[in-house]
Amino acid sequence: MKWLKYSLKTTTAAVDLISEILSELGVSGIEIEDHVPLSEEEKAQMYVDILPETGEDDGTAVISFYLEEAEEGDADFNPALYNSGTAILAPEAVDAHAVLSSLMEQAADLKTFGIDPGPLTVSVSETEDEDWAESWKAYFHAFTIGEKVRIAPTWEEEDEADADLVTLRIDPGIAFGTGTHETTKLCVEALIRYIMGDEDLLDVGCGSGILSMAALGLGAGHALAIDIDPVATEVAKENFVVNGFPEKSYEVLTGDLITDETLFRKTAEKTYPVIVANILAPVLVELTPVIKPLLMPGGIYITSGIVEERAEEVKQAIEDAGMTLLEENHENDWVCLIAENPAE
């Protein structure tokens, strides 16, 4: 199945109205590229510490949308195209030429309302389904972390040579954590050193659940995985099932441990010998004093998601919470801090 990508050059001022025009023409799935700076609310929702460079806002924008090319012999071939939208369960025929003609006419009319639509030039490129659904698999293969943990996609067979490793099946998806990022690797390496066997683990900001699963595979008795993002927790639940962990060995909760008192009380029903939090430095600064009463005396606190420039802030938060810094490990620009809650 072939798809045509249409990219329309316009202005940020016209984006909303052109998007509405496309919707009325039956095109519901669009991409928007611009240089508008992110708002503070948008930054907070991105769950990353290094934000994308938007460049200088020059008022330009590109709106892209995909249409499916009908094949010769199809009833609607003239050549017609189908609206991809966000799903293609029952696509309706859309004549691309008619869509583009009407779009350009209505977009040009925006000038009469005092809105500059920009150059309104269109570029077209072609791709195929396998480009999205299959080709990217060539770039994600099984790999090991440390000497004990192997991360593998579900479509690769297990190598007999790796039979002694803890193998986790993780496919790239919409929740952070396939093991390829430096912060995830650093946390897994720490878990390899500090999981002794049968202990309870608290995983805050669990993402795909990879750290909880690594801990269970290394011998932890139970993992409580928490994330503020409901999409992440659903993905984590699926990954626990895919990897065959018994339901009694884990629990997945959605919420903000810092602000949700009910969630904190439930989490605080016991203390934990190991707590891992692979989030962001600013969040860790707020989270660390909340973690302290949840950490068993002598317990280990593993933190990452910290860019080097923010490491001192997290170290200060650890000290202020009354914990002792044991290790500071680096990989590229990322830092993993490991602290201990002093024994009483």
Q: By mean pLDDT, which of 177-186, 205-214, 219-228 is the weakest? A: 177-186
Does position 50 have pLDDT exceeding 60, yes or no?
A: no
Per the rule left: phi > 0, alpha: psi between -120 and 50, beta: everything else, 189 is alpha
* pLDDT for residue 92: 43
pTM of the full predicted structure? 0.66
> Both 99 and 144 in a single domain?
no
> Both 73 and 153 in a single domain?
no
Q: Which two tokens stand for residue 126?
A: 């072609």
pLDDT top residue among 302 and 5: 302
The amino acid sitting at 230 is P
- Between CA 207 and CA 226 the distance in angstroms is 8
> Both 198 and 290 in a single domain?
yes
Q: What percent of the chain has pLDDT over 90?
A: 49
- Between CA 291 and CA 206 the distance in angstroms is 15
Question: Which helix (H) or strand (E) is 213 found in, with range?
Answer: helix 210-217
Identify the CATH number of the domain in which residue 331 sits: 3.40.50.150
Report the candidate in 134, 63, 67, 66 with the shortest Cα–Cα distance to residue 95.
67
Q: By mean pLDDT, which of 60-69, 213-222, 266-275 is the weakest? A: 60-69
**pLDDT tens-digit series, residues 90-106:** 344 556 777 888 888 89
> Both 203 and 270 in a single domain?
yes
Of 72, 107, 133, the domain-final residue: 133
**pLDDT tens-digit series, residues 282-299:** 999 999 999 999 999 999
168 forms beta bridges with: 151
Identify the CATH number of the domain in which residue 8 sits: 3.30.70
* pLDDT for residue 38: 61
Burial (CB < 10 A; 0-12, 13-18, 19+), residue 123, is exposed
Burial (CB < 10 A; 0-12, 13-18, 19+), residue 255, is middle
Can you give the residue range of the structural domain that contains 254?
138-340
> Both 122 and 149 in a single domain?
no
Does position 263 have pLDDT exceeding 90, yes or no?
A: yes
Which strands sit side by side in the sheet containing 149-152, from one edge to the other? 143-145, 149-152, 166-169
Longest dimension (CA), the chain: 79
Task: Kindly report the number of other CB atoms within 10 A of residue 226's CB atom.
Answer: 25
Overall number of domains in the chain: 2
Does position 233 have pLDDT exceeding 60, yes or no?
A: yes
Q: Which two tokens stand for residue 198?
A: 């049968």
> Both 94 and 237 in a single domain?
no
Of 102, 133, 164, the domain-final residue: 133
- DSSP percent split of the chain into helix, strand, coil, nearest 5: 35, 30, 35
The amino acid sitting at 166 is V
> Both 15 and 31 in a single domain?
yes
* pLDDT for residue 97: 75
> Both 152 and 111 in a single domain?
no
Of 100, 133, 166, the domain-final residue: 133
